[in-house]
Amino acid sequence: MSGGLPDNEKIYDEEISPVLAQIGRRCRELGFSFVARVEWEPGDSGNTGFLAPNASIKQKLADWAARADGNVDALLLAVERHARKSGHSSVYLKALGVPENPDRS
């Protein structure tokens, strides 16, 4: 398609994204965490999300994965940063040398 957005991206931008943003705003008002990732074509996607201050590690992982956009290094870096700050009980992180207890010095 010349000079314009592909149909699926246009539909996402005009119809889906605004609805997700509205849901995200309402979730924020209620103190809920919200993560949505939409892929309209392989490799073409958009994210909408908000993490409440008390978000669980499950929700944080979903958010980090969505934001990493398929980049495993970015996802693992987010996991490692969180583990160094908050601690962890992961055998994989331990094998990588990430301390189980955060450095509180």
- The model's pLDDT over 42-94, given as tens digits with 9 standing for 90+, comes to 999 999 999 999 999 999 999 999 999 999 999 999 999 999 999 999 999 99
Helices 57-68 and 72-86, packing angle to 10 deg: 150
- The model's pLDDT over 1-35, given as tens digits with 9 standing for 90+, comes to 455 667 999 999 999 999 999 999 999 999 999 99
Contact 68, 49 (CB under 8 A): no
